[in-house]
Chain A
Amino acid sequence: MIRFEHASVTYPGGVHALKDLTLEIPDGQMLVTVGLSGAGKSTLIRALNGLVPLTGGDVIVDGISVRQANGKQLRELRSHMGMIFQTFNLVKRTSVLNNVLMGRLHATGSWRSLLGWYRPEDIEIAMQALERVDIVEKAYVRAANLSGGQQQRVGIARALAQEPTILLADEPVASLDPPTSHVVMRDLQRINRELGITTIVNLHFLDLAKIYGERIVGLRAGELVYDGTGAQADEHVFRDIYGRSLTADDLMGEARPTPASISA
């Protein structure tokens, strides 16, 4: 279980990215956060795995305080949290498999990882992760040669290879086209349901949030302004969260594609 307790983050320039956030996320939930750019969505996710340090309050993950974790404890904590990035963050020059194997580094000794002699069990886990996102045939392909949607799936596989209990996705589909976005979101939803992994996703497009968010949390200027189900979130709710009328940019617009129209 994840618990934010009066969590605050103030950046050195004086920007209050998170203000006194208190939030409880039970295991296995799929949570979607929405809000304008700069509202604190990215900060919330990065405060969870300590990539952004808290300046006030605390985040407790499975009983362990993130703020008080030292280097080793933080690494241990992070090994249980898989992260997916808007820009995929793959090592372009190396193979898909090597990228996914980065998810096994936390369980690999220094000398082994230096030489790249991963244990067969670890390679098996990586392959299974690739199979789960349906891209295993590209295992030895250079990451740079994949399309955006494929790269993001490799990113998901890398996170899955950690065998995480929590999945953090920071605007995972912002760089993808609509059909591909649906494919990736559906993959995340499937993983959440089949493996019971707590999934927290930042989304920019509100219609996507409604479709895939079992629970939606709205942030505005670092503060929690909405916490409800996807069904309850209508236009009024979103306008509240955004603090302005909705524009076309806030909606992805395209309907869910049929299996036939998918090519990612």
Chain B
Amino acid sequence: MTAAAPASRRPAKPRRSPFVSVGLGAFVIITLISLSEEWGIGLDIGSLLEDIGRGLPIIAQLLDPNWDFLPRVIEPLIETFQIAVVAAFIGCAVALPITFFAARTTVPNRATLAISRGILSVVRAIPDFLYALIFVAAVGIGPLPGILALIFFNVGVVAKLLSETVDAIDTGPIEAADAAGSRRTQMVRWAVLPQVLPNYVAFSLYAFELNVRASTVLGFVGAGGIGFLLRTQYQFLQWSNVSVIIICLFVIVFAIELVSIRLRRRLV
């Protein structure tokens, strides 16, 4: 009886899957191309560090806010908030029925599912800014295009998130509702909605947060809110005023985020 364990019992080291190797290789190549001057963005760390000097006087001004400018900021900020609120309510309301067409567990047939998800993909693929650009061209400048843009944006975000939640629910109550002879809308209202309602409210709050952030910059293209003021000050190189705007933005976004997180914790 020998004491050594037979070496042939040791398993061979598993070879790294080719999928991973190819993936890593592609990753490196794409990154290098993107960095290059010729085909990419031309990131040159050296000249970047040199150029920091160029930005310093501006940054110095940014660090010295001009508080006399504050009164001019208040009204546009309120408008930013209004846009966010209106768009959030309308967008989340619209998103709810759309969700049930885009979720596997509640949809009447596969064709509807495919079409709904397709439309939702396109809606989500358009950045909020692009919506703003289009709506400004369609209805003129002011808060209205901003509201419309954010409604579409909200629908995309909330419908996607909520439909994923609906796909993951307990289907038992759905079976029970079907067995009791209820119609589809009744089934959705009583077997599905109660299960996802807290999530829906949480996602709506999240969408509202996103709206506040977005509406700060949509004004850049004329869609209302503080973005327009930001743009004018920026174009006139009034950095100290820009600084005031940015600080106010930060305070608002931060405050709303705090409230939103508190509320969301209580729900889920």
A touches B in complex, CB < 8 A? yes
Q: Shortest distance in angstroms between B119's beta carbon and chain A's nearest beta carbon?
A: 24
Tell yes or no: A7 within 8 A of B by CB: no
Q: Which of B80-88, B120-128, B182-190 contacts A (4 or more CB under 8 A)?
A: B182-190
Given A93-B195, A110-B185: A85 touches B180 (CB 8 Å cut-off): no
Q: In the complex the two chains form, is B186's CB within 8 Å of A78's CB? A: no
Q: In the complex the two chains form, is B181's CB within 8 Å of A114's CB? A: no
Q: With A and B bound together, what is the CA distance between A112 and B170 in angstroms?
A: 25
Q: In the complex the two chains form, is A87's CB within 8 Å of B179's CB? A: no
A23: chain B residues within 8 A (beta carbon) = none
**Number of residues in B with C-beta < 8 Å to the partner?**
21
Q: In the complex the two chains form, is B194's CB within 8 Å of A102's CB? A: no
A–B Cβ pairs within 8 angstroms, 5 of them: A78-B181, A80-B181, A81-B179, A110-B183, A155-B176
B175: chain A residues within 8 A (beta carbon) = 51, 85, 89
How many A-B pairs have beta carbons closer than 8 Å: the answer is 87
Q: In the complex the two chains form, is A75's CB within 8 Å of B179's CB? A: no
Q: With A and B bound together, what is the CA distance between A113 and B170 in angstroms?
A: 21
Q: In the complex the two chains form, is B176's CB within 8 Å of A94's CB? A: no
Q: In the complex the two chains form, is B181's CB within 8 Å of A90's CB? A: no
Q: Shortest 5 CB-CB distances between A and B: which pairs? A: A79-B181, A89-B172, A78-B181, A105-B182, A83-B179
Tell yes or no: A108 within 8 A of B by CB: yes
Q: With A and B bound together, what is the CA distance between A82 and B182 in angstroms?
A: 12
Q: Shortest distance in angstroms between B51's beta carbon and chain A's nearest beta carbon?
A: 57
The interface bits of chain A over 74-107 (1 if a CB of B lies within 8 angstroms of the residue's CB, else 0) are 1111111111010111111110001001110110
Enumerate A147-164 residues with CB–CB distance to B below 8 Å: 155, 158-159, 162
Q: With A and B bound together, what is the CA distance between A152 and B194 in angstroms?
A: 19
Q: With A and B bound together, what is the CA distance between A88 and B189 in angstroms?
A: 19
Tell yes or no: A192 within 8 A of B by CB: no
Tell yes or no: B191 within 8 A of A by CB: yes
Q: With A and B bound together, what is the CA distance between A88 and B172 in angstroms?
A: 8
Considering the complex, give the chain A residue whose CB is closest to the CB of B173.
A91
Q: In the complex the two chains form, is B190's CB within 8 Å of A102's CB? A: yes
Q: Shortest distance in angstroms between B102's beta carbon and chain A's nearest beta carbon?
A: 20
The interface bits of chain B over 243-264 (1 if a CB of A lies within 8 angstroms of the residue's CB, else 0) are 0000000000000000000000
**Number of residues in A with C-beta < 8 Å to the partner?**
36
B186: chain A residues within 8 A (beta carbon) = 105, 108, 110, 113-114
Enumerate B66-121 residues with CB–CB distance to A below 8 Å: none
Q: In the complex the two chains form, is A75's CB within 8 Å of B182's CB? A: yes
Q: In the complex the two chains form, is A89's CB within 8 Å of B176's CB? A: yes
Tell yes or no: A8 within 8 A of B by CB: no
Q: In the complex the two chains form, is A87's CB within 8 Å of B172's CB? A: yes
Q: Shortest distance in angstroms between A93's beta carbon and chain B's nearest beta carbon?
A: 5
Q: Shortest distance in angstroms between A162's beta carbon and chain B's nearest beta carbon?
A: 6
Q: In the complex the two chains form, is A102's CB within 8 Å of B185's CB? A: no
Q: In the complex the two chains form, is A113's CB within 8 Å of B173's CB? A: no
Given A90-B173, A91-B173, A93-B195: A51 touches B179 (CB 8 Å cut-off): yes
Considering the complex, give the chain A residue whose CB is closest to the CB of B192.
A91
Q: In the complex the two chains form, is A75's CB within 8 Å of B183's CB? A: yes
Cβ 8 A contact of A106, one of B170, B182, B191: B182
A88: chain B residues within 8 A (beta carbon) = 172
A181: chain B residues within 8 A (beta carbon) = none
Q: With A and B bound together, what is the CA distance between A171 and B195 in angstroms?
A: 25
- Most chain A CB within a 10 A radius of its CB, from B178, B181, B191, B194: B181
Considering the complex, give the chain A residue whose CB is closest to the CB of B189.
A114
B178: chain A residues within 8 A (beta carbon) = 51, 78
Given A78-B178, A82-B180: A98 touches B197 (CB 8 Å cut-off): no
Q: With A and B bound together, what is the CA distance between A195 and B187 in angstroms?
A: 28
Q: With A and B bound together, what is the CA distance between A117 and B177 in angstroms?
A: 18
B177: chain A residues within 8 A (beta carbon) = 102, 105
Q: In the complex the two chains form, is A94's CB within 8 Å of B194's CB? A: yes
Cβ 8 A contact of B180, one of A87, A91, A93, A103: A103
Tell yes or no: A198 within 8 A of B by CB: no
Q: With A and B bound together, what is the CA distance between A80 and B181 in angstroms?
A: 8
Q: With A and B bound together, what is the CA distance between A82 and B177 in angstroms?
A: 10
B172: chain A residues within 8 A (beta carbon) = 85, 87-90
Q: With A and B bound together, what is the CA distance between A82 and B173 in angstroms?
A: 14
Given A83-B180, A102-B180: A89 touches B190 (CB 8 Å cut-off): no
Q: With A and B bound together, what is the CA distance between A82 and B179 in angstroms?
A: 7
Q: In the complex the two chains form, is B180's CB within 8 Å of A79's CB? A: yes
Q: In the complex the two chains form, is B190's CB within 8 Å of A105's CB? A: yes
Q: In the complex the two chains form, is B179's CB within 8 Å of A91's CB? A: no
Q: Shortest distance in angstroms between A113's beta carbon and chain B's nearest beta carbon?
A: 5
Q: With A and B bound together, what is the CA distance between A135 and B179 in angstroms?
A: 23
Q: With A and B bound together, what is the CA distance between A19 and B191 in angstroms?
A: 33
Q: With A and B bound together, what is the CA distance between A81 and B170 in angstroms?
A: 22
Q: Shortest distance in angstroms between B201's beta carbon and chain A's nearest beta carbon?
A: 13
B197: chain A residues within 8 A (beta carbon) = 93
A74: chain B residues within 8 A (beta carbon) = 181
